[in-house]
């Protein structure tokens, strides 16, 4: 043996014995048990149950049922050594994700989403780090509640365009036509997309909007499918990402290869267009240009950084990433909330009638409602809260990760555990909401001095702690404006008898596509102007009010 190794061995051997000692000490030292959950099998844990999920049952509902079986509001699931903690109650979520946010603000590694599909730039899934803080700060300063009034004109303009598209050529109360889900979804998606894209990139032409909405629609499939940790087994076994796409069972790799170019186009193509318009002086003021102007240029101060596209590369990268992420922070959530609201109204004529009465009494019939009317319309606000509760846009919030060992309620939570707030379970809790499967906006209204209000669903619907959705205020303002205008001008009812005979009647509680952001499965309804005056308002939009 070479004498050169002797000093190394003198240090290494005691060091090795020390770690062996620590290992056995941990084995012998008693620690609290893991929270209740399926025991699974040695090494593989609960792999079989996770692999054979019931596609007919929503994931949040499956975890809620499991919590009742184990009589616990926290569940522990082990899959291939990957520890997962499910939080089925507001109490557990508040204690861990709010009060201990310093420990629980990290994210697990999304190997399928970030590593294979190319979503690494999306700060919603970045690790809790200085890089994430820079992104969060940049986004928050322009999308916090007190800042988004800047975008109000864009919301009103997009609402006007939506109403004009929806308006029939003439008023005909006896001629009610079913509107197809695809057509309605297209209108709502175009509304939400045009609003956020004008705010973020300064896009104003229909061609620009159509191009980006098309890019986002293609890329969104991969985001929705992969952002729930564990949706693909490569999240549990990272080495699977090195398997070639042709290998048997590697269909996830084929999907990733299809999705990755779409994700790349989503972030790069609009940015190239923006930089080009900045160079030729045609760029409109927006989130991206405002942040670039605030950044420090690399070149001499005498050189115009906007015209020469000369910015600090690191700062520009943050602004570019935040701009692309904004679409999903403020658009897809709006689409989900609006489409769920229309579905709920088509099934609850008594709710529609109350909303109409309030709007007519407070706003009248000569103008459209605006955001400053919100506090004067408590029933409309209660209706939207009940939609948020009954049909939360993200029933399973984006997973958190604990950065060190912790103890909760006598249970052990190991470092690196993936923590999933079950928002769907919390918002359907019988302890918090009486008769939770009943759609009832009145639960959020103070009907008498003794009545007890149900907890506001917005407290949990958009996430927790330092990872709460930063685009929630923009999404809620956008959704409120469109829903208020629809109710002020239109009757919304279920499909005609003929349409109901030709298709199964949708259940507004169960008929949803699973994923990060959920959307109702295709449905039909009837949307018609309430009167000739209402039709004229739809055709005029906000042109006389702006």
Residue 239, helix vs strand vs coil: helix
Copy the structure tokens of residue 319.
């602004």
Of the chain, the end-to-end C-alpha distance in Å amounts to 86
Is residue 84 a contact partner of residue 230, using CB atoms and an 8 Å limit? yes
Cβ neighbours, 10 Å, residue 435: 9
Element (H, E) at 225: helix 206-226
Q: What is the 3-state secondary structure (H, E, C) of 421-480?
A: EEHHHHHCCCCCCCCCCCCCHHHHCCCCCCCCCCCCCHHHHCCCHHHCCCCHHHHHHHHH
Pairing of strands 82-87, 418-421: parallel
Q: What is the largest CA-CA distance in the chain?
A: 99
Q: How far apart are CA 7 and CA 485, in angstroms?
A: 79
Predicted pLDDT of residue 211: 87
Closest CA to 217 of 242, 182, 248: 182
Describe the strand order of the beta sheet including 400-401 as a list of residue ranges.
74-79, 82-87, 418-421, 400-401
Burial 188-199, CB ≥16 within 10 A → b, else e: bbbbbbbbbbbb
Residue 131, helix vs strand vs coil: helix
Residue 314, helix vs strand vs coil: helix
DSSP state of 221: H
> Nearest 5°: phi and psi at 31?
-130, 160
Q: How far apart are CA 429 and CA 435, in angstroms?
A: 9
| Residue ranges of domains in the chain, CATH in brackets | 31-540 (1.10.630.10)
Query: What's the burial of 371, exposed, middle or buried (CB within 10 Å: 0-12/13-18/19+)?
Result: middle
Q: How far apart are CA 488 and CA 538, in angstroms?
A: 10
Q: How far apart are CA 430 and CA 178, in angstroms?
A: 36
Q: How far apart are CA 121 and CA 123, in angstroms?
A: 6
Helix count and strand count (H, E) for the chain:
21, 11
Residue 400, helix vs strand vs coil: strand
Pairing of strands 400-401, 178-179: unpaired
| Sequential pLDDT tens for the chain (546 residues) | 444 433 333 433 444 444 454 455 555 567 789 999 998 877 777 777 776 665 567 889 999 999 999 999 999 999 888 899 999 999 999 999 999 999 999 999 999 999 999 999 999 999 999 999 999 999 999 998 888 899 999 999 999 999 999 998 887 776 666 788 889 999 999 999 999 999 999 998 888 888 888 888 888 888 888 888 888 889 988 998 999 889 888 899 999 999 999 999 999 999 999 999 999 999 999 999 999 988 865 544 444 555 556 678 899 999 999 999 988 777 888 999 999 999 999 999 999 999 999 999 999 999 999 999 999 999 999 999 999 999 999 999 899 999 999 999 999 999 999 999 999 999 999 999 999 999 999 999 987 665 678 899 999 999 999 999 888 999 999 999 999 999 999 999 988 665 555 554 544 455 777 777 888 888 889 999 999 999 999 999 998 776
Predicted pLDDT of residue 544: 74
Is residue 271 a contact partner of residue 325, using CB atoms and an 8 Å limit? no
Q: How far apart are CA 297 and CA 301, in angstroms?
A: 7
Closest CA to 333 of 458, 165, 212: 458
Closest CA to 153 of 483, 481, 538: 481
Is residue 398 a contact partner of residue 467, using CB atoms and an 8 Å limit? yes
Is residue 222 a contact partner of residue 262, using CB atoms and an 8 Å limit? yes
Distances from the Cα of 70 to the Cαs of 141, 282, 396, 401, in angstroms?
43, 61, 20, 23
- State yes or no: 152 annotated in a binding site: no
Q: How far apart are CA 511 and CA 519, in angstroms?
A: 9
Strand partners, 178: 526
Distances from the Cα of 358 to the Cαs of 28, 214, 324, 381, in angstroms?
67, 38, 38, 11
Which sign, positive or negative, has the C-alpha torsion 7, 10, 13, 16? Answer: negative
């Amino acid at each position: 043996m070479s004498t050169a190794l002797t000093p190394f061995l003198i240090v290494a051997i005691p060091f090795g014995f020390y770690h062996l000692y620590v290992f056995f000490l941990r084995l012998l030292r008693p620690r609290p048990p893991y929270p209740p959950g399926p025991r699974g099998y040695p090494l593989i844990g609960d792999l079989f149950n996770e692999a054979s999920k019931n596609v007919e049952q929503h994931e949040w509902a499956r975890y809620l049922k499991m919590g009742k079986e184990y009589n616990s509001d926290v569940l522990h699931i082990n899959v291939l050594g990957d520890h997962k903690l499910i939080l089925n109650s507001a109490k557990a979520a508040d204690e861990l994700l709010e009060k201990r946010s310093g420990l629980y603000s990290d994210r697990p590694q999304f190997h399928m989403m970030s590593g294979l599909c190319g979503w690494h730039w999306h700060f919603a899934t970045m690790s809790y780090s200085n890089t994430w803080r820079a992104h969060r700060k940049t986004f928050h300063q322009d999308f916090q509640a007190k800042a988004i009034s800047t975008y109000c004109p864009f919301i009103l303009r997009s609402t006007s365009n939506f109403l004009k598209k929806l308006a029939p050529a003439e008023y005909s109360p006896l001629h009610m036509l079913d509107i197809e889900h695809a057509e309605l979804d297209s209108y709502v998606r175009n509304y939400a997309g045009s609003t956020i894209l004008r705010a973020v990139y300064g896009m104003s032409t229909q061609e620009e909007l159509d191009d980006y909405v098309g890019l986002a629609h293609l890329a969104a499939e991969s985001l929705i499918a992969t952002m729930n940790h564990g949706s693909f087994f490569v999240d549990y076994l990272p080495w699977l990402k090195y398997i070639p796409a042709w290998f048997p069972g590697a269909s996830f790799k084929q999907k990733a290869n299809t999705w990755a170019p779409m994700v790349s186009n989503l972030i790069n193509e609009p940015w190239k267009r923006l930089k080009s318009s900045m160079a030729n002086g045609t760029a409109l003021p927006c989130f991206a240009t405002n942040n670039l102007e605030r950044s420090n240029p690399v070149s001499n101060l005498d050189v115009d950084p906007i015209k020469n596209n000369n910015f600090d590369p690191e700062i520009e990268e943050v602004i570019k990433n935040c701009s692309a992420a904004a679409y999903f922070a403020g658009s897809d959530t709006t689409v989900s909330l609006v489409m769920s609201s229309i579905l709920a109204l088509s099934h609850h004529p008594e709710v529609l009638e109350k909303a109409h009465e309030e709007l007519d009494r407070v706003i009248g019939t000569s103008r459209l409602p605006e955001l400053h009317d919100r506090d004067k319309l408590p029933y409309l606000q209660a209706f939207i809260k009940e939609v948020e509760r009954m049909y939360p846009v993200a029933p399973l919030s984006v997973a958190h990760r604990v950065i060190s060992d912790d103890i909760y309620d006598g249970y052990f939570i190991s470092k690196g555990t993936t923590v999933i707030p079950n928002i769907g379970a919390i918002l359907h809790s019988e302890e918090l909401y009486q008769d939770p499967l009943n759609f009832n906006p009145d639960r959020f209204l103070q009907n008498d001095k003794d009545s007890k209000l149900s907890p506001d669903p917005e407290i949990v619907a958009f996430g927790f702690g330092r990872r709460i959705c930063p685009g929630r205020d923009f999404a809620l303002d956008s959704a409120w404006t469109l829903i208020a205008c629809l109710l002020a001008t239109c009757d919304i009812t279920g499909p005609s008898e003929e349409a109901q005979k030709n298709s199964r009647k949708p259940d507004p509680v169960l008929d949803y596509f699973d994923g990060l952001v959920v959307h109702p499965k295709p449905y039909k309804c009837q949307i018609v102007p309430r009167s000739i005056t209402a039709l004229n308002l739809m055709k005029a939009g906000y042109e006389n009010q702006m």
